[in-house]
């Protein structure tokens, strides 16, 4: 619960202190978590609709996980604490500056800030970065494909024996040199992802969701009960060390936070209204969306546009979806208008991989809704296997989205088995190659960083098909597409590359591994105790814990 | 002047007379039969009135209500409310969710599922309980100890929570025992879970009755005549358990339906898109504020069916076994004595 200070005198002191802090701070209010208008301290009681996939920075690859750990594990580079497009800017994190890129885009040189410590008091060393990369690859993280262009990383992924020769570190000077096999235009962005946030070298190489590793950010996770919730306290070494070394990084206003998983979004909304909880990470349920928007927009509620794609995937390596005509037929049978209603207007219909707002996006519609045509195409394709399993998770309205797909496929003549999994482990289960009957299902994707490669490489490149934590659910492994993804990924993004990505978007949709149906609007919804204006929704990490403050 | 039951009347005829004299039980039997007719009429209503199946989605469709076009689901995601006969019976109770399925059709088909699961699970549990109760009560000794302890173990477990865990696990992976393979969405999964976990509730009283009956002269006489244990159990003792079995079976249907509703409500029973009254409550709860009937109607149907079955069960017990309570007490007392002497105490 929020800690209430002694009346008036403390409030006045707090206000004076806050004003003082605001006047001393260099950042503008719109980009800083410490807007300085509210009370310092207090405990934020937040709620998530499901437990994150992992509370381990190396392997978490969901919006929930990244939001939960954004101000806990700081990578060498990070993203600006700002809303919207401004929040897509890469800024130095644990590194002193942005990388120096040499050797034709193949060598990245960074320097660790001096004096950094983990929340357990262990000094942060340059070699911890290499350990973090190796640990992530050893854990078969879904993020590992981003880093396999590091010299020797591919071999390391196969043998799991290090060290990776492409990462050279000097613990005395803090210098980190990363040599890539070839240039990679997105590598700066990827150094800003939590997958490679430095961790102490004695961190066990296993999923640490129940006992998260020591932090480098302003907050540390002190308690985690997978499935139920987790708690934060201030990192004791932030004020002593890291905060001084990273003066631009927001230190946060609240003292602690407690996150509770409440699986009923209706209850979450009620709890926010009653002040039992002060923030819900997931958006209000579709059934309450209009009501919440009408009552609280501008005071407690703010819609947040995202750079995201919601889609149905089809396993291109197994009948019946190994047949292009079948996949194209499914695309024709999906009515994005119906899905807009299922998502109660929180989805804007699209039919392509790249969403609006992403460089390289240009609207096209290859598969206008035509159920009769779809049925005819299925008839012509005459698939050998009509028994399929359709997967989705329990979270509304994704569950209904999955049911919609199930009925569409039934309409097309398939015999479907519908599997609905708990949202906590949905992606873990469907991302595991040993899970049987992975034929088709629901998924979504929010940008990791503002580069179109982020929508192609982890989701549609052959090298991203992993035994666990797989993100290429369609299992698309087309040599020509793989080559284009790799070639474009090597280049720095410019108008020419954007044009090429437009083409790639179309080319892949002609192969129809997915049936994309929309881009999502999310939200910030807080209780009346929280200053809505101070809360930052970053396009990569979502809500920053450091940005919450009590009025 | 009321006539005493004549000597010629058989016990079943007497029981029927006693049951018919219980007006409350008869009335609720009528209610239960009406519910059965209601759910059996599902295909008729779906084909000839609603013109849609239980899982057919109408999200972007419009219907004509009293000459006016209405969205089945509004662009804001609000499903249409009850239209009664305004649209010629279509969406009589409105749409069930943002998927725009006909609530009335799903209520009827959902009832079929709930009753099917309830009756089948109760039947399986009853058959298993009879076999186990007969074996334990007749053979006593280590057979009794083994069965009684197993039943005790199941009884001591948090049955619903374990059923929930099994339900969730099997809903994902299905069940493959080699000789039988069930997909995750199969109705047999909730049926098996319910029946296995409810066996002790019938098996223990049956065991008690068997313990008492096996001391009776007619059983001793059969054994003396050289009847095999199987013959004694199934032709001498079993017929005398009929009244107990019938009463428990009726009550178990109600319990199984409640169990199914609970499992389905929590996502571990009947799997979407199939409807049962339990799953319909789950869907309805989300829209409770804007369409409260969506949760209330299936809830009311469960309540009415369970109430009817319980009252009918009580009526049957009174009719079939007017001294049932005294006999049950005696059976339990006997079982306790046997346990104290033979190591089979419950």
Helical (H) or strand (E) element with A223? strand A219-225
When pLDDT is cut at 50, 70 and 90, the band that residue B333 belongs to is: low
**B145 and chain A in contact, CB less than 8 A:** no
Distance from CA of A369 to the nearest CA of B (A): 12
- Distance in angstroms (rounded) separating the CA atoms of residues A163 and A496: 37
- Residues listed for chain A: 551
User: Distances in Å between the alpha carbon of B46 and those of A409, B32, B91?
Assistant: 21, 21, 10
Contact A55, A219 (CB under 8 A): no
Strand-pair partners of A365:
none
- Distance in angstroms (rounded) separating the CA atoms of residues B106 and B104: 5
Tell which of A264, A419, A437, A438 to mutate to test the B interface (max B CBs under 10 Å). A419
Tokens of A518: 């929309």
| CA pseudo-torsion sign A39, A44, A49, A50 | positive
Nearest residue, CB atoms, B59 vs list A286, A290, A338: A338
Rg (chain A; Cα; Å) = 23
Helical (H) or strand (E) element with A138? helix A127-138
Contact A129, A117 (CB under 8 A): no
- Distance in angstroms (rounded) separating the CA atoms of residues A141 and A282: 24
**Higher-scoring residue by pLDDT: B91, A14:** B91
Tokens of B270: 């009947």
Q: For B299-333, b where at least 16 C-beta lie within 10 A, e where not — what string?
A: bebbeebbebbbbbbbbbbbbbbeebeebbeebbe
Tokens of A385: 């296997």
Three-class secondary structure of residue B15 per DSSP: helix
Classify B209 in phi/psi space as left (phi over 0), alpha (psi -120 to 50) or beta. alpha
Phi–psi pair at A117, nearest 5 degrees = -140, 150
- Distance in angstroms (rounded) separating the CA atoms of residues A276 and B309: 41
- Distance in angstroms (rounded) separating the CA atoms of residues A404 and A392: 10
**pLDDT, position B342:** 35
Contact B286 A344 (CB under 8 A): no
Beta strands in chain B (DSSP E): 62-65, 68-71, 175-176, 181-182
**B162 and chain A in contact, CB less than 8 A:** no
Contact A266 B272 (CB under 8 A): no
Position B153 pLDDT exceeds 50? yes
Contact B285 A403 (CB under 8 A): no
Spell out which residues of chain A touch residue B57, defining contact as CB-CB under 8 Å.
338, 403-404, 407
Spell out which residues of chain A touch residue B99, defining contact as CB-CB under 8 Å.
342, 400, 403-404, 407
pLDDT by residue, tens only, chain A of 551 residues: 222 233 333 333 333 333 333 333 333 333 333 444 578 899 999 999 999 999 999 999 999 999 999 999 999 999 999 998 899 899 999 999 999 999 999 999 999 999 999 999 999 999 999 999 999 999 999 899 899 999 999 999 999 998 999 999 999 999 999 999 999 999 999 999 999 999 999 999 999 999 999 999 999 999 999 999 999 999 999 999 999 999 999 999 999 999 999 988 889 999 999 999 999 999 998 888 888 999 999 999 999 999 999 999 999 999 999 999 999 999 999 999 999 999 998 999 999 999 998 999 999 999 999 999 999 999 999 999 999 999 999 888 999 999 999 999 999 999 999 999 888 889 989 999 999 899 999 999 999 999 999 999 999 999 899 999 899 999 999 999 999 999 999 898 999 999 999 999 999 999 999 999 999 999 999 999 999 999 999 999 999 999 999 99
Tell which of B58, B102, B272, B279 to mutate to test the A interface (max A CBs under 10 Å). B272
Nearest Cα neighbor of A55 from A66, A47, A45 is A66
Tokens of B39: 């759910």
Nearest residue, CB atoms, B183 vs list A289, A338, A417: A417
Tokens of A310: 């919601």
Nearest residue, CB atoms, B98 vs list A342, A417, A421: A342
Contact A419 B273 (CB under 8 A): no
**pLDDT, position B285:** 87
Contact B73 A289 (CB under 8 A): no
| CA pseudo-torsion sign B185, A265, A286, A70 | negative
Contact A392, A405 (CB under 8 A): yes
Nearest residue, CB atoms, B77 vs list A264, A344, A407: A344
CA triple B308-B311-B317, angle to 5 deg: 135
Contact A397 B98 (CB under 8 A): yes
Spell out which residues of chain A touch residue B288, defining contact as CB-CB under 8 Å.
266
- Distance in angstroms (rounded) separating the CA atoms of residues B277 and B286: 15
Contact B98 A289 (CB under 8 A): no
Helix axes B242-265, B159-173, angle to 10 degrees: 60
Helical (H) or strand (E) element with A229? strand A229-234
Cis peptide before A255 (omega within 30 of 0): no
Tokens of A277: 């909880």
**B273 and chain A in contact, CB less than 8 A:** yes
The half-sphere exposure of A361 on its side-chain side, counting CA atoms within 13 A, is 19
- The CB density around residue A515, as the number of other CB atoms within 10 Å, is 24
Which residues are CB-neighbours of A225 under 8 A, at least 6 positions away?
A210
- Distance in angstroms (rounded) separating the CA atoms of residues A515 and A442: 9
Spell out which residues of chain A touch residue B271, defining contact as CB-CB under 8 Å.
418-420
Three-class secondary structure of residue A173 per DSSP: coil
pLDDT tens per residue across span B206-264: 999 999 999 999 999 999 999 999 999 999 999 999 988 998 999 999 999 999 999 88
**pLDDT, position B320:** 85
Which residues are CB-neighbours of A142 under 8 A, at least 6 positions away?
A59, A61, A431, A458, A466, A469, A470, A471
Distance from CA of B178 to the nearest CA of A (A): 17
Contact B288 A420 (CB under 8 A): no
Spell out which residues of chain B touch residue A340, defining contact as CB-CB under 8 Å.
75
Contact A377, A329 (CB under 8 A): yes
Spell out which residues of chain A touch residue B287, defining contact as CB-CB under 8 Å.
287
**pLDDT, position B266:** 82
Spell out which residues of chain B touch residue A342, defining contact as CB-CB under 8 Å.
59, 73, 77, 98-99
- Distance in angstroms (rounded) separating the CA atoms of residues A31 and A64: 22
Spell out which residues of chain B touch residue A421, defining contact as CB-CB under 8 Å.
172
Which residues are CB-neighbours of B224 under 8 A, at least 6 positions away?
none
Nearest Cα neighbor of B63 from B77, B43, B83 is B83
Contact A287 B75 (CB under 8 A): no
Portion of chain B with pLDDT greater than 90, in percent: 66
Q: What is the ipTM of this complex?
A: 0.82
Contact A516, A310 (CB under 8 A): yes
Three-class secondary structure of residue A475 per DSSP: coil
Tell which of B99, B168, B169, B294 to mutate to test the A interface (max A CBs under 10 Å). B99
- Distance in angstroms (rounded) separating the CA atoms of residues A371 and A63: 34
What is the number of CB-based contacts under 8 A between chain A and chain B? 91
Position B346 pLDDT exceeds 60? no
Helical (H) or strand (E) element with B32? helix B23-40
What DSSP designation does B237 have?
I
pLDDT tens per residue across span B21-31: 999 999 999 99
User: Distances in Å between the alpha carbon of B176 and those of A328, A331, A335, B183, B188?
Assistant: 34, 34, 36, 8, 12
| CA pseudo-torsion sign A65, A70, A71, A74 | positive
- Distance in angstroms (rounded) separating the CA atoms of residues A366 and A499: 18
Which residue of chain A comes nearest to B167, CA vs CA? A421
**pLDDT, position B140:** 93
Residues from A in contact with B at Cβ < 8 Å: 264-266, 285-291, 335, 337-338, 340-345, 394, 396-397, 399-400, 403-404, 406-407, 410, 417-422, 429
Which residue of chain A comes nearest to B53, CA vs CA? A407
Nearest Cα neighbor of A268 from B88, B286, B60, B187 is B286
Tokens of A104: 């034709």
Spell out which residues of chain B touch residue A400, defining contact as CB-CB under 8 Å.
97-99
When pLDDT is cut at 50, 70 and 90, the band that residue B267 belongs to is: confident
Distance from CA of A422 to the nearest CA of B (A): 9
Contact B172 A400 (CB under 8 A): no
Tell which of B54, B56, B59 to mutate to test the A interface (max A CBs under 10 Å). B59
Three-class secondary structure of residue A257 per DSSP: strand
What DSSP designation does B41 have?
T
**B202 and chain A in contact, CB less than 8 A:** no
Cis peptide before A163 (omega within 30 of 0): yes
Spell out which residues of chain B touch residue A399, defining contact as CB-CB under 8 Å.
272
Q: Tally DSSP H helices, then E strands, for chain B.
A: 13, 4
CA torsion A154-A157-A158-A160 (nearest 10°) is 130
Contact B272 A418 (CB under 8 A): yes
Contact B111, B160 (CB under 8 A): no
Contact B60 A290 (CB under 8 A): no
Distance from CA of A69 to the nearest CA of B (A): 29
Burial of B143 (0-12, 13-18, 19+ CB in 10 A): middle
- Distance in angstroms (rounded) separating the CA atoms of residues A138 and A144: 9
When pLDDT is cut at 50, 70 and 90, the band that residue B337 belongs to is: low
Q: What mean pLDDT do residues B149-153 have? A: 92
Distance from CA of A435 to the nearest CA of B (A): 9
Nearest Cα neighbor of A326 from A190, A511, A134, A464 is A511
Q: What mean pLDDT do residues B169-193 have? A: 83
Contact B77 A335 (CB under 8 A): no
Contact B273 A406 (CB under 8 A): yes
- Residues listed for chain B: 346
- The CB density around residue A288, as the number of other CB atoms within 10 Å, is 23
Position B335 pLDDT exceeds 80? no
- Distance in angstroms (rounded) separating the CA atoms of residues B107 and B283: 12
Spell out which residues of chain A touch residue B183, defining contact as CB-CB under 8 Å.
417
């Amino acid at each position: 619960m929020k800690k209430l200070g002694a009346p008036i005198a403390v409030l006045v002191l707090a206000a004076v202190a806050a004003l003082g802090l605001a006047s001393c701070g260099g950042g503008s209010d719109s980009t800083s978590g410490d807007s300085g208008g509210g009370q310092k301290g207090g405990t934020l009681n937040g709620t998530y609709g499901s437990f994150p996939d992992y509370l381990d920075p190396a392997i978490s690859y969901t919006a929930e996980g990244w939001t939960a750990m954004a101000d806990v594990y700081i990578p060498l580079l990070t993203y600006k604490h700002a809303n919207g497009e401004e929040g897509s800017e890469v800024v130095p994190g644990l590194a002193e500056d942005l990388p120096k890129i040499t050797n034709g885009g193949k060598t990245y040189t960074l320097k660790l800030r001096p004096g950094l410590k983990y929340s357990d008091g262990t000094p942060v060393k340059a070699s911890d970065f290499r350990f973090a990369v190796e640990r992530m690859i050893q854990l078969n993280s879904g993020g590992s494909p981003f880093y396999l262009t590091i010299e020797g990383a591919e071999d390391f992924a196969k043998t799991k024996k290090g060290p990776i020769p492409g990462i050279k570190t000097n613990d005395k000077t803090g210098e980190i040199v990363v040599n890539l096999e070839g240039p990679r235009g997105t590598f700066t962005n990827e150094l800003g992802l939590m997958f490679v946030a430095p961790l102490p070298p004695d961190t066990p190489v296993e999923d640490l969701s129940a006992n998260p590793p020591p932090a480098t950010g302003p907050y540390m996770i002190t308690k985690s009960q997978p499935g139920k919730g987790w708690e934060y306290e201030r990192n004791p070494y932030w004020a002593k060390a890291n905060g001084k070394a990273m003066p631009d990084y927001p230190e946060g206003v609240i003292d602690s936070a407690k996150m509770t998983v409440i699986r009923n979004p209706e209850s979450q909304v009620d709890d926010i209204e009653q002040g039992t909880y002060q923030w819900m990470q997931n958006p209000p349920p579709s059934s309450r969306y209009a009501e919440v928007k009408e009552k609280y927009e501008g005071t407690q509620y703010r819609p947040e546009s995202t750079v995201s794609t919601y889609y149905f995937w089809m396993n291109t390596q197994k009948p019946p979806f190994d047949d292009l005509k079948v996949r194209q037929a499914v695309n024709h049978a999906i009515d994005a208008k119906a899905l807009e209603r299922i998502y109660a207007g929180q989805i804007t219909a699209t039919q392509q991989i790249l969403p609006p707002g992403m460089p390289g996006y240009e609207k096209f519609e290859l598969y206008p809704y035509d159920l009769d045509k779809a049925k005819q195409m299925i008839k012509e394709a005459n698939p050998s296997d009509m028994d399929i399993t359709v997967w989705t998770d329990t979270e509304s309205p994704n569950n209904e989205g999955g049911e919609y797909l199930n009925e569409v496929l039934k309409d097309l003549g398939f015999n479907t088995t519908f599997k609905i999994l708990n949202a906590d482990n949905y992606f873990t289960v469907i991302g595991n190659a040993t899970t049987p009957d992975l034929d088709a299902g629901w998924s979504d994707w929010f940008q990791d960083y503002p580069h179109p490669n982020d929508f192609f490489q982890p989701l549609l490149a052959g090298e991203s098909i992993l035994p666990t934590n797989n993100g290429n659910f369609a299992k698309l492994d087309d040599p020509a597409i793989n080559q284009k993804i790799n070639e474009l990924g090597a280049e720095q993004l410019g108008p020419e590359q954007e044009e090429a990505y437009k083409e790639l978007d179309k080319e892949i949709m002609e192969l129809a591994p997915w049936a994309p149906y929309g881009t999502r609007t999310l939200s910030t919804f807080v209780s009346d105790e929280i200053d809505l204006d101070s809360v930052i929704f970053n396009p990569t990490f979502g809500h920053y814990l450091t940005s919450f403050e009590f009025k | 002047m009321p006539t005493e039951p004549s000597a010629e009347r058989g016990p079943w005829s007497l029981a029927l007379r006693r049951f018919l004299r219980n007006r409350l039980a008869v009335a609720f039997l009528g209610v239960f039969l009406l519910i059965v007719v209601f759910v059996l009429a599902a295909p008729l209503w779906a084909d000839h009135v609603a013109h849609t199946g239980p899982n057919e989605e109408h999200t972007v469709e419009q219907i004509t209500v009293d000459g006016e076009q209405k969205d089945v689901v509004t662009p804001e995601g609000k499903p249409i409310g009850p239209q009664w006969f305004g649209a010629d019976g279509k969406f009589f109770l409105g749409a069930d969710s943002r998927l725009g399925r006909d609530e009335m059709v799903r209520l009827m088909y959902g009832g079929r599922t709930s009753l099917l699961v309830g009756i089948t699970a109760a039947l399986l549990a009853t058959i298993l309980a009879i076999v186990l109760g007969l074996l334990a009560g007749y053979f006593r000794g280590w057979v009794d100890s083994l069965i009684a302890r197993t039943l005790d173990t199941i009884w001591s477990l948090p049955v619903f929570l374990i059923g929930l865990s099994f339900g969730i696990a099997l809903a994902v992976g299905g069940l493959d025992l080699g000789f039988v393979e069930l997909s995750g969405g199969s109705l047999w999964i909730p049926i098996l879970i319910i029946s296995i976990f409810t066996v002790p509730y019938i098996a223990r009283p049956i065991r008690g009755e068997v313990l008492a009956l096996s001391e009776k002269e007619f059983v001793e006489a059969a054994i003396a005549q050289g009847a095999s244990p199987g013959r004694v159990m199934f032709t001498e003792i079993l017929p005398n358990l009929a009244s107990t079995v019938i009463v428990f079976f009726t009550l178990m249907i109600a319990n199984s339906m409640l169990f199914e509703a609970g499992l389905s409500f929590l996502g571990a029973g009947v799997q979407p898109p199939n409807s049962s009254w339990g799953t319909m409550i789950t869907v309805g709860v989300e829209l409770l504020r804007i369409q409260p009937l969506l949760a209330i109607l299936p809830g009311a149907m469960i309540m009415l069916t369970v109430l009817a079955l319980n009252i009918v069960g009580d009526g049957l017990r009174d009719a079939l076994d007017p001294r049932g309570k005294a006999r049950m007490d005696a059976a339990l007392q006997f079982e306790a004595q046997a346990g104290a002497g033979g190591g089979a105490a419950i």
